[in-house]
């Protein structure tokens, strides 16, 4: 029998608040590393996983030097963190094979190909081919299934996926940039995941659990209902798109099937913004009514709000926030974020064409917290707004008043657990997401940030935590989006050119 290989799968993460202890209680959790670990034959490989989102930056030389193969996944702005871990792993174990994939690699495939041994733009299945190529076919699993047994322990919550990608094309979304087809797994695959996570509250982390096939959606509802009624799962939550809420009957069916909460990307209550961002599915049902109906049906509705001071005056954004705060019939948003020009999206292209992205913006800055674009109002005002936004600073009294009104209105319709979850959102918003998701880091000192990409202090993670040969210096240079003149940087140009020429060959405009 061939020698056992050591494999480390890491979900890389730059915390947008630069917390260093991870966020073990933040919901949802990253699952890419757990799903990818399933591509390895468990008898022939010793597989370990690590999530920087859950556990904080990986700074353990023993673990970094351990694997024969390092597999990296993470969000688009985690690209540079992949470079850091690659440097550590290569310095500590020169023969290590580094495989990287996920949104960051799909956004910058050319740049990625110049660094990683395998830069994969595929789904998890592509990892099987890389394993076969690097180690031999016997090291890849015959039948892929997520390694829930390796996931960060959670007795209460289990995360599953029943589909991939999305059937909508919002202009700011990285899935639109990737253009991959919405796909559902077989219902049997969802059933196996539920069996593996029995006894827990289930979170379906699909981008769109509703999808575009009513029959198959109903099949899944029935399956969840069976597990719920027989006590095999406690309850469930899912992410759905706005069109779901046009079906009152589905709300009732979901409730009977054990649905505790739904998350949807409201993004804005402003119709013009929805149209501009091509979020038309949010116009299928009036948004306030949709939230109210969902809550009245006994399901907690959670959502995020995206503020874009590049296309809207701050006064208008402030009045939208004020409107939310004086409407206790709806939940408070789970988070507020700035619009992000995610690489390759139509929104990114628009910002680039109009030279709206600020000079010296790093890929790392595109986290929804740092202001990275020119704004309608003076930049100082926009920065002040961006600083206030995540914690709704200046609105604390209204936040508390909203919490009281909301609790009073829904105390009978929602279960105590749902009310508590809604109030956790209040705590998350009012403490810039720190206290509730990462309790041990609240009082720690964090590096001073300017919240403006051009002047933002470099994340300390860009300083190696151990001595490395000088040949690894380039791994710690931030990937730049723009140069000092606000023009696209050399770091991203090869990928921009490749994408434009590909789109040209297909007879379409880039990102159209
Ligand atoms: C959990 C989650 C989070 C977690 C943790 C994220 C993390 N990875 O560390 C938290 C809550 C922190 C988070 C935050 C944000 N998130 Co989020 N999040 C998710 C969510 C719901 C699930 C991610 C997941 O684990 N999926 C399950 C795995 C199995 O899927 P996957 O990662 O896509 O991997 C598959 C393929 O991509 C591929 N693949 C992935 N990696 C690799 C590697 C290799 C080698 C190979 C071969 C294949 C491969 O194979 C996998 C299986 O097919 C997704 C939605 C979704 N359904 O994916 C959004 C999503 C990833 N988030 C998104 C966004 C926009 C954000 C925020 C920017 C939101 C905001 N404005 O505040 C922030 C970013 C904060 C920051 N620090 O910068 C976007 C995409 C962002 C991007 N491209 O960077 C998504 C897709 C939601 C959406 N539809 O818009 N998020
Ligand atoms: S509905 Fe959500 S996942 Fe789908 S394209 Fe829009 S933002 Fe992306």
pLDDT in tens, 128-145: 999 999 999 999 999 999
Cβ atoms of residues 205 and 28 within 8 Å: yes
Output the pLDDT for position 507.
Answer: 43
The pair phi, psi for residue 421, each rounded to 5°, is: -65, -40
For a ligand 1 pocket test, name from 32, 168, 364 the mutation site with the most ligand atoms within 8 angstroms of its C-beta.
32
Can you give the length of the chain in residues? 512
**pLDDT level of residue 431 (50, 70, 90 thresholds):** low
Output the pLDDT for position 455.
Answer: 97
Answer whether 32 contacts ligand 1 (Cβ < 6 A). Answer: yes
Ligand nearest to the CA of 282: 2
**pLDDT level of residue 286 (50, 70, 90 thresholds):** confident
Ligand nearest to the CA of 306: 1
**pLDDT level of residue 510 (50, 70, 90 thresholds):** very low
User: What percentage of the chain exceeds 90 in pLDDT?
Assistant: 87
| Per-residue pLDDT reduced to its tens digit, 212-252 | 999 999 999 999 999 999 999 999 999 999 999 999 999 99
Task: Measure the CA–CA gap between 44 and 49, rounded to whole angstroms.
Answer: 16
* Annotated domain spans of the chain: 5-139, 148-436
Answer whether 241 contacts ligand 1 (Cβ < 6 A). Answer: no
Query: Over 70: is that where the pLDDT of 171 sits?
Result: yes
Average pLDDT, the chain: 93
Residue nearest to atom 3 of ligand 2 (CA): 207
Ligand nearest to the CA of 166: 2
Strand order in the sheet with 69-74: 45-51, 5-12, 69-74, 97-101, 118-120
**pLDDT level of residue 374 (50, 70, 90 thresholds):** very high
Mean pLDDT, residues 427-432 taken together: 68
Answer whether 97 contacts ligand 1 (Cβ < 6 A). Answer: no
* CA 47 to ligand 2 centroid distance, Å: 33
Residue nearest to atom 6 of ligand 2 (CA): 170
Task: Measure the CA–CA gap between 204 and 159, rounded to whole angstroms.
Answer: 6
Mean pLDDT, residues 446-459 taken together: 90
Task: Measure the CA–CA gap between 428 and 436, rounded to whole angstroms.
Answer: 6
Mean pLDDT, residues 423-428 taken together: 79
Output the pLDDT for position 446.
Answer: 63
Task: Measure the CA–CA gap between 163 and 204, rounded to whole angstroms.
Answer: 9
**pLDDT level of residue 512 (50, 70, 90 thresholds):** very low
Answer whether 9 contacts ligand 1 (Cβ < 6 A). Answer: no
**pLDDT level of residue 284 (50, 70, 90 thresholds):** confident
* CA 30 to ligand 1 centroid distance, Å: 7
Output the pLDDT for position 500.
Answer: 82
Task: Measure the CA–CA gap between 483 and 358, rounded to whole angstroms.
Answer: 9
Cβ atoms of residues 488 and 496 within 8 Å: yes
Query: Over 70: is that where the pLDDT of 254 sits?
Result: yes
Query: Over 90: is that where the pLDDT of 174 sits?
Result: yes
Ligand nearest to the CA of 237: 1
Q: Which residue reads 């954004």 in tokens?
A: 317
Query: Over 90: is that where the pLDDT of 280 sits?
Result: no
* CA 247 to ligand 2 centroid distance, Å: 19
Task: Measure the CA–CA gap between 121 and 106, rounded to whole angstroms.
Answer: 5
Least confident window among 169-183, 206-220, 467-481, 497-511: 497-511
| Per-residue pLDDT reduced to its tens digit, 319-356 | 999 999 999 999 999 999 999 999 999 999 999 999 99
Query: Over 90: is that where the pLDDT of 478 sits?
Result: yes
Query: Over 50: is that where the pLDDT of 511 sits?
Result: no
Which CATH entry fits the domain spanning 148-436: 3.80.30.20, 3.40.50.720, 3.30.420.40, 2.40.110.10? Answer: 3.80.30.20
For a ligand 1 pocket test, name from 30, 112, 158 the mutation site with the most ligand atoms within 8 angstroms of its C-beta.
30
Output the pLDDT for position 440.
Answer: 47
Mean pLDDT, residues 361-367 taken together: 98
Residue nearest to atom 11 of ligand 1 (CA): 28
- Is-same-fold flag (5-139; 148-436)? no
Answer whether 285 contacts ligand 1 (Cβ < 6 A). Answer: no
**pLDDT level of residue 269 (50, 70, 90 thresholds):** very high
- State which fold the 5-139 domain adopts: Rossmann fold (3.40.50)
Residue nearest to atom 87 of ligand 1 (CA): 207
* CA 405 to ligand 1 centroid distance, Å: 34
For a ligand 1 pocket test, name from 58, 75, 189, 438 the mutation site with the most ligand atoms within 8 angstroms of its C-beta.
75
Residue 122 burial (C-beta neighbours within 10 Å; 0-12, 13-18, 19+)? middle
Beta strands in 124-269, from DSSP E residues, in sequence order: 157-160, 163-164, 183-184, 201-204, 235-239, 259-267
Give the pair of three-digit tokens for residue 23: 């966020």
* CA 178 to ligand 2 centroid distance, Å: 12
Ligand nearest to the CA of 208: 2
């Amino acid at each position: 029998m061939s020698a056992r290989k050591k494999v480390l799968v890491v979900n890389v993460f730059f915390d947008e608040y630069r917390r260093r202890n991870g966020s073990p209680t933040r919901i949802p959790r990253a699952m890419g590393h757990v799903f990818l670990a399933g591509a390895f034959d468990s008898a022939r490989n010793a597989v370990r996983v690590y999530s920087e989102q859950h556990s904080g930056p990986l700074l353990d030389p023993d673990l970094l030097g351990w694997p024969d193969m390092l597999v990296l996944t993470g969000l688009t702005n985690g690209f540079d963190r992949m470079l850091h871990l690659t440097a550590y792993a290569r310095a500590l174990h020169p023969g290590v094979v580094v495989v990287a994939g996920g949104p960051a690699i799909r956004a910058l495939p050319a740049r990625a190909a110049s660094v990683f041994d395998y830069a994969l733009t595929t789904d998890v299945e592509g990892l099987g081919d890389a394993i076969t190529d690097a180690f031999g076919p016997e090291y890849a699993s015959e039948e892929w299934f997520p390694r829930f047994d390796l996931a960060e322990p959670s007795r209460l919550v289990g995360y599953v996926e029943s589909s991939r990608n999305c059937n909508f094309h919002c202009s700011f979304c990285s899935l639109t940039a990737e253009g991959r087809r919405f796909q559902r797994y077989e219902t049997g695959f969802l059933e196996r995941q539920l069996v593996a996570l029995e006894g827990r509250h289930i979170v379906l982390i699909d981008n769109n659990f509703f999808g575009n096939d009513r029959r198959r959606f109903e099949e899944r509802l029935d399956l969840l209902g069976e597990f719920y009624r027989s006590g095999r799962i406690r309850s469930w939550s899912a992410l759905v798109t706005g069109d779901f809420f046009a079906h009152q009957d589905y709300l009732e069916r979901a409730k009977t099937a054990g649905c505790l909460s739904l998350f949807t990307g409201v993004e804005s209550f402003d119709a013009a913004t929805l149209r501009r961002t091509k979020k038309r599915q949010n116009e299928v049902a009036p948004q306030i009514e949709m939230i109210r109906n969902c809550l009245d049906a006994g399901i907690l509705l959670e959502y995020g709000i995206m503020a874009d001071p590049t296309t809207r005056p701050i006064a208008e954004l402030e009045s939208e926030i004020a409107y939310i705060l004086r409407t206790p019939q709806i939940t408070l948003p789970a988070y507020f974020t700035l619009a992000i020009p995610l690489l390759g999206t139509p929104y990114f292209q628009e910002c680039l064409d109009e030279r709206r992205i600020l000079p010296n913006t790093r890929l790392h800055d595109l986290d929804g917290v740092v202001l990275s674009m020119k704004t309608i109002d003076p930049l100082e005002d926009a920065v002040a707004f961006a600083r206030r936004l995540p914690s709704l600073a200046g609105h604390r009294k209204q936040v508390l008043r909203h919490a009281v009104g909301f609790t009073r209105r829904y105390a009978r319709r929602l279960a105590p657990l749902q009310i508590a979850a809604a109030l956790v959102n209040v705590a998350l918003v009012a403490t810039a997401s720190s206290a509730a998701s990462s309790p041990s880091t609240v009082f720690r000192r964090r590096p001073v940030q300017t919240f403006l990409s051009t002047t933002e202090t470099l994340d300390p993670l860009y300083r190696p935590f151990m001595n490395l040969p000088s040949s690894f210096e380039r791994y710690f240079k931030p990937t730049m989006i723009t140069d000092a003149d606000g023009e696209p940087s050399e770091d991203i140009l090869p990928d921009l050119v490749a994408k434009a020429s590909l789109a040209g060959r297909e007879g379409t405009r880039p990102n159209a």
